[in-house]
Amino acid sequence: ALTALSINHSDRDQADQALQLIDEARAIAESTGDRFSVATTSVQKGRTLDELGRPADALEWFDLAVTTLEELGARWELADARAARGIAKRNLGRLDDAEEDLRAAIRIAEELGDRQLPSWTWRNLARVAELRGDQAAAAELLQRSKDAELRGPR
């Protein structure tokens, strides 16, 4: 519940309050040994830090989440975390690393039949192509985003 509240605060430009709620949720999860919740709060902390223009700080939280979610076999959450980490890496100019995470997120989400994650992840991958100056690839990736949106779940 605290993580959900942090998302609401983050959406309303109240990042300090969001980070405080995330840290509280994480402390509770750690005290109970709930590794899944520790990982999901780590993703939310990373997202908030990235949105604050601190992608380098965000990476440590995304890395922790990715490792834990892989160990737990939480595939949808892993796809989400890899996508978020890819965006932070893109924001740092680490385009090859960003592409690797974004493509992994798409692959996992499509295997799961997810209808939302692939479309916005393809769009973020298109942004990587734009940053590389490859407008043709960016246009192709944007089309894949639109196709994924129209296709919906498998």
Task: Give 108-126 pLDDT, tens digit per residue.
Answer: 998 998 878 888 899 999 9
Per residue in 56-80, pLDDT tens? 999 999 999 999 999 999 999 999 9
Q: Which residue is it, tokens 């894949």? A: 144
CA distance 8 to 138: 31
User: Residue 49 to residues 15, 32, 100, 102, 147: CA-CA distances in angstroms?
Assistant: 8, 25, 21, 19, 31
pLDDT in tens, the chain (154 residues): 444 444 444 544 678 888 988 999 999 999 999 999 999 999 999 999 999 999 999 999 999 999 999 999 999 999 999 999 999 999 999 999 999 999 999 999 989 988 788 888 999 999 999 999 999 999 999 998 888 878 765 5
User: Residue 66 to residues 16, 62, 90, 145, 148: CA-CA distances in angstroms?
Assistant: 24, 6, 17, 24, 24
Q: Torsions phi, psi of 151, nearest 5?
A: -70, -40
CA distance 2 to 74: 20
